[in-house]
Amino acid sequence: MKLATIRTEDGTKAAVLDGGKLVPLDFTDVGAWLRAGAPEWSGLAAGSPVSADEADFAPVITEPRKIICVGLNYRDHILEMGRELPEHPTLFAKFADALIGARDDLVLPPGSSSVDWEAELAVVVGKTVSRADETEARNAVAGFSVANDVSARDFQRRTPEWLQGKTFDQTTPLGPYFVTADETGPEPDLDISCSVDGVTKQHSRTSELVFGPVALIQYISAITTLRAGDVILTGTPGGVGDGMNPKEFLEAGSVLETTINTLGSASNRCILR
């Protein structure tokens, strides 16, 4: 099942993809649909279908209670950054104000001269879990979406903590679609890529994650309770601009495209504001 959150005249609505059209449902976003128990969508239509090609995509989850991010979680990216494989996941957070839709403009962080791309698989949690065992964690994977953990590297490195470089407003695409785990499995092996102005910068498989979705839910839920609609960004593969020689970064006018097969593609133009 494939859903999105779209902007309508009546505000944002969760919508299910049906034959090339998005059918709005009576939920404000995919997160609200999950919190209601992910009910069957037939009979829940709350508006006229919209062509998927013409839809105004909001972030799949507009206001998650938690956005937990994982750093250094692809083998190739760890090596390009000159580090060793970690024993435990590296965690940091974002806030909901960082999120944008799959076709929205991406606002370059003011004051930063090193804004980098990081294509990521986003895991969406489907139920409340605390101190989950492997089976509970597996059952808590509701599905997946496309994300890009756009990072201001100069701000990120101001202190040993990364938060300040990771959560600038309007910098993190999430969507266009949410695909339920019954279509992909809870540990998907999907093609993930990122391009800037049509030039491929990153290309890998989500099976290259050091810590996969189930392991991450187990680990994170031992620290903080996860709830339906929470989002986990699982890390990025090799090919980030900061790892290149010479380094490359996003500029005003750059078009950032993030693609994961089965899940869709986000295309965001970088602007100054």
Which residues lie below 8 Å from residue 132, measured CB to CB, with a gap of 6+?
140, 217, 218, 221, 222, 226
13 lies in the same domain as 66: no
Q: Tell me what the pLDDT averaged over the chain comes to.
A: 96
Among 41, 58, 75, the domain boundary falls at: 58
Kindly state the average pLDDT of the residues 223-238.
97
Tokens of 179: 């695909």
Tell me, yes or no, whether 98 and 218 share the same domain. yes
The tally of domains found in the chain comes to: 2
* Nearest residue to 50 (alpha-carbon basis) of 25, 87, 68: 25
What count of other Cβ atoms lies within 10 Å of the Cβ of residue 44? 16
Say how far apart CA 122 and CA 188 lie, in whole Å: 11
Q: 90-146: per-residue pLDDT in tens? A: 999 999 999 999 999 999 999 999 999 999 999 999 999 999 999 999 999 999 999
For residue 58, the 8-state DSSP code is P
Structure tokens at 117: 């791309």
Are residues 223 and 236 both part of a single domain?
Answer: yes
Name the β-bridge partners of 50: 22
Task: Tell me the C-alpha distance between 219 and 214, whole Å.
Answer: 9
Both 122 and 139 in a single domain?
A: yes
- Please indicate, yes or no, whether residues 239 and 148 belong to a single structural domain of this protein: yes
pLDDT in the model for residue 16:
97
Task: Report yes or no: 34 and 124 within 8 Å, Cβ to Cβ.
Answer: yes
Q: Do 18 and 132 share a structural domain?
A: no
Phi first, then psi: give them for residue 192, nearest 5 degrees. -125, 135
Is the domain of 5 the same as that of 115?
A: no
Instruction: Residue 104: give its domain's CATH number.
Output: 3.90.850.10
- 184/244 same-domain check: yes
49 and 153 belong to one structural domain: no
Shared domain check, 28 and 107 = no
Task: Specify whether 94 is located in the same domain as 38.
Answer: no
**Calpha distance 89→47 (Å, rounded):** 42
The pTM assigned to this predicted structure is: 0.96
β-strand partners of 224: none
Q: How confident is the model at residue 79 (pLDDT cuts 50, 70, 90)?
A: confident
Q: Does residue 77 sit in the same domain as residue 196?
A: yes
Which range marks the domain in which residue 46 is found? 1-58
- Per residue in 132-169, pLDDT (tens digit) is 999 999 999 999 999 999 999 999 999 999 999 999 99
Rounded Cα distance between 65 and 93, Å, is 11
